[in-house]
Amino acid sequence: MTTTIRATHTLMVEGWRFIPHSYAIVNQFQCLELLKERSLRLFHTDMPYLTPSWSQHKGLFPAEYENRIEAIPTTLPADTQPDVILRMTFPYDYSDSSAKKTYVFGTSEFGHVPSDHVRRHQPLRQALESGSATLLTPSHWSRRGFIQSGADPERVKVIPHGVDTRLFKPLAASERSVLRSKLGFEGFHFLSVGSMTSNKGLHLLLKAFSVVAQRHPHVRLVLKGLDSLYPSENWLTSQSQGLTEVETRIVQERMIYYGGTLDFYALARLHQCCDAYVSPYYAEGFNMPVLEAIASGLPVICTKGGSTDDFTNSDFALSIDSQKKSFQLPQGDSGTYLEPSRDHLIELMCNLVENEAFVEQARLSGPRFAGERFTWTHVVKLLCDEMFSAK
């Protein structure tokens, strides 16, 4: 990896490891790439997990990856101060550190940063007044949320997330056929991955899928939750309440739910066995599963106007028409979300089922796009350019 680092720098990362939370996943992939930079000394402080119910989960990464992550030193030499401290944890701590520069990663999904996302439950504007930390966020949608909450635009930098294209990549047709047969996959499978929280638009997806299934009975819906961290299956059940009796029967006959924790190899295989990825989200800070689907060669359907605009194009992605909506927050501030069109979602899902040429095109154009712009090597180069520039 070539970066703008010209002398030895010391970086202390404060974050989570060994849990399947998105912040921990991003942190660990970034650390793996940072370890390749010989002129950088990397250290890691493990921060407390958000809740006592969370526990370490080893084996998410390939063994060679995990060994490198675990071997990162945690204690600085007695006479060493870090040049940069990078905080990759939650809630957000914007206080100054002992380093020359302090960076704090965060996301804003709903166009606003609530005070309970900030250490000591301070309003963001107030928390930023007491320090000089630079804010890192993965999308322009998320950046606008920090600015609307009082952050100086000059202090909010966009560093996107990446994808490991050695894991998330298309399978050869013969290998894919064998794997689908082992899983019992027949027909056209839509995939959606996430915690099953309401911002993911699951109730909209379930409604739309019930219509698509009536037109194309061979379709299936694969949902991957995260029951080890969240009550994903309960949230999915809750979002199914709006279905009619007929819609419920249609969906249940064709839906496959995985709630367990999959390692990245198995998660990549799940992507590779499906035919398309769909994400009719209302609000996302980035939406990394969409990028992983793109790298895996799946055509994607996602909401127009949100975070995924930063890393999708019409060669492999179909955008759901949406309307920008505002809502009032208890503190008197306003939040923002996108309302995707259900009718347009249905149209796009049917389009993919019927348009084999576009599906095949996405198998080539998506992985090429991800590999040229959004690998973790690309991302960490941007990160290092920001953290270790001479400014």
pLDDT digits (tens, 9 = 90+) for 327-378: 987 766 789 999 999 999 999 999 999 999 999 999 999 999 999 999 999 9
Half-sphere exposure of 52 (CA within 13 A, CB side): 0
For 55, other C-beta atoms within 10 Å of its C-beta total: 10
Quick one: 57 exposed, middle or buried, by C-beta within 10 A (0-12, 13-18, 19+)? middle
- pLDDT at residue 47 greater than cutoff 80: yes
Hey, CA dihedral for 264, 270, 276, 282, is it positive or negative? negative
- What is the CATH architecture of 173-373? 3-Layer(aba) Sandwich (3.40)
- What is the CATH architecture of 9-162+376-387? 3-Layer(aba) Sandwich (3.40)
- Mean pLDDT calculated for residue range 228-253: 93
- pLDDT at residue 216 greater than cutoff 80: yes
Q: Would you kindly state where each structural domain of the chain is located, as residue ranges?
A: 9-162+376-387, 173-373
pLDDT confidence tier of residue 4, bands split at 50, 70 and 90: low
- Do 9-162+376-387 and 173-373 have matching folds? yes
Specify the pTM: 0.95
Expressed in percent and rounded to 5, the helix, strand and coil fractions of the chain are 40, 20, 40
Asked whether 42 and 11 are in contact (CB, 8 A), the reply is: yes
- pLDDT at residue 298 greater than cutoff 80: yes
- pLDDT at residue 389 greater than cutoff 90: no
Q: Strand order of the sheet with strand 317-320?
A: 255-258, 219-224, 188-193, 276-279, 300-303, 317-320
- Mean pLDDT calculated for residue range 84-110: 96
pLDDT at 390: 64
At residue 55, the 3 state secondary structure works out as coil
Asked whether 236 and 259 are in contact (CB, 8 A), the reply is: no
pLDDT at 112: 94
Asked whether 124 and 150 are in contact (CB, 8 A), the reply is: yes
For 39, other C-beta atoms within 10 Å of its C-beta total: 12
Rounded mean pLDDT of the chain? 95
CA 137 from chain centre, in angstroms, equals: 12
Q: Look at the block and give the residue holding tokens 């966009």.
A: 158
